[in-house]
Copies of this chain bind each other. A is one copy, B any other.
Amino acid sequence: MLKIIALDAMGGDYGARVVVPAAARALKTYPELKVLLVGQIDKLNPLAAKHLSAYRDRFEIISATEIVEMAEAPAHALRSKKDSSMRVALNCVKDARAQACVSAGNTGALMATARFVLKMLPGVDRPAICTTFPAERGGEVRFLDLGANVDSSPENLFQFAVMGSVLSQALDRVENPRIALLNIGSEEIKGNEVVKRASDIFSDSQVINYIGYVEGDGIFKNIADVIVCDGFIGNITLKTIEGSVKFVGRLMKDIVAKRWWNKILILPALPLLKKLVDYINPERHNGASLLGLNGIVIKSHGGASVNAFYHAIGEAVREVEANVPRLIGEKVAVLLKAGPQ
């Protein structure tokens, strides 16, 4: 089955310089893929000539004259950049010219524009951003929300859980995904009011396999397949993980750089360190899903490399194959039919 994916070719810190070579790599990996490169034609033409000459019938360049800046206010982008590469790429999904959109652009603008252009699935109140983390024993955990929402209600968190569960089932082939709520310790002051009330709703539901609370140090322990939290917490957690891992790497580099013979001492261990880095490499996990929309939208890290953006396209391919929005829509429809949980 042919998969057509629209790429916001001007988004992110590096724009077309990253997106076009990443597209070439994805076209090589996925023989049934076709990409729409959306952006400024004069910039895209030479890059396409350079990288995509082997795939003449599997890409199209679609004109969009404007660019949403990384620091631009989402409302401003939404109101006044109607011919932005982001907006036009999303329009391709709305008009069924593409089955998914991938963008490394401004998260807030992407979220606001996607919501406006594609609309929410019936029964879903708010979109959520979902990523995956590696876990012990080769596991993977889906983690949401990463910052689409702050001050989420218990009901919002329940919808996130349902969407995360669908994703884990459809993409990670987990039969009955273990759903956990991110919370604090085992003391009496056990979480804030929202999390406590969410836990009651999760427990009462037959639709998800709720296993209870997980703490920050449980994220990597492969005890849950999906971890749900408010976007404020989720974004801080995501950034804290990135910061912790980078800090350890940075310290190691500093220690090695301190004396010249340290470089020799570390030499034999380098292949092992490379294995470690490959495993936790955030590039491999690049491509967060914007869930709850009437269409597939994948957000790449703004500073993504060619390899990282390639992985984001891969995530889009898998969501197209699984038809994620339809699956979420069906699950939510069942819930709506059953009445309030």
A102 to chain B, nearest CB (A): 19
Give which listed residue, B233, B243, B248, contacts A236 with CB less than 8 A: B233
Contact digits for A109-150, partner B, Cβ 8 Å, 1 yes 0 no? 000000000000000000000000000100000000001111
Asked whether B235 lies within 8 Å of A240 as measured between CB atoms, the reply is no
Asked whether B216 lies within 8 Å of A242 as measured between CB atoms, the reply is yes
Known: A71-B186, A236-B184. A193 touches B151 (CB 8 A): yes
Q: Which residue of B lies closest to A186 (CB)?
A: B71
Residues of chain A from 150 to 198 with CB closer than 8 A to chain B in the complex: 150-151, 182-189, 191-193, 195
Asked whether B236 lies within 8 Å of A182 as measured between CB atoms, the reply is yes
Residues of chain A from 236 to 279 with CB closer than 8 A to chain B in the complex: 236-248, 250-252, 255-256, 262, 264-269, 271-272, 275-276, 279
What residues on B are CB-neighbors of A250 within 8 Å? 136
Give the distance in Å from the alpha carbon of A71 to the alpha carbon of B241 in the complex.
28
What residues on B are CB-neighbors of A71 within 8 Å? 186
Q: Which residue of B lies closest to A259 (CB)?
A: B272
Give the distance in Å from the alpha carbon of A100 to the alpha carbon of B254 in the complex.
38
Asked whether B217 lies within 8 Å of A184 as measured between CB atoms, the reply is no
A212 on the B face (CB < 8 A): no
Contact digits for A61-82, partner B, Cβ 8 Å, 1 yes 0 no? 0000000000101110000000
Known: A217-B243, A248-B248. A184 touches B269 (CB 8 A): no
Asked whether B265 lies within 8 Å of A185 as measured between CB atoms, the reply is no
Give the distance in Å from the alpha carbon of A250 to the alpha carbon of B251 in the complex.
18
A299 to chain B, nearest CB (A): 12
A31 on the B face (CB < 8 A): no
What residues on B are CB-neighbors of A266 within 8 Å? 268-269, 272
A–B complex contacts, Cβ < 8 Å, 29 sampled: A74-B187, A106-B187, A107-B187, A108-B187, A147-B184, A147-B189, A148-B189, A150-B191, A185-B235, A195-B232, A215-B243, A216-B238, A216-B239, A216-B243, A218-B243, A219-B243, A237-B237, A244-B244, A245-B248, A248-B248, A248-B276, A252-B272, A252-B276, A255-B272, A255-B275, A255-B276, A265-B269, A265-B271, A268-B269
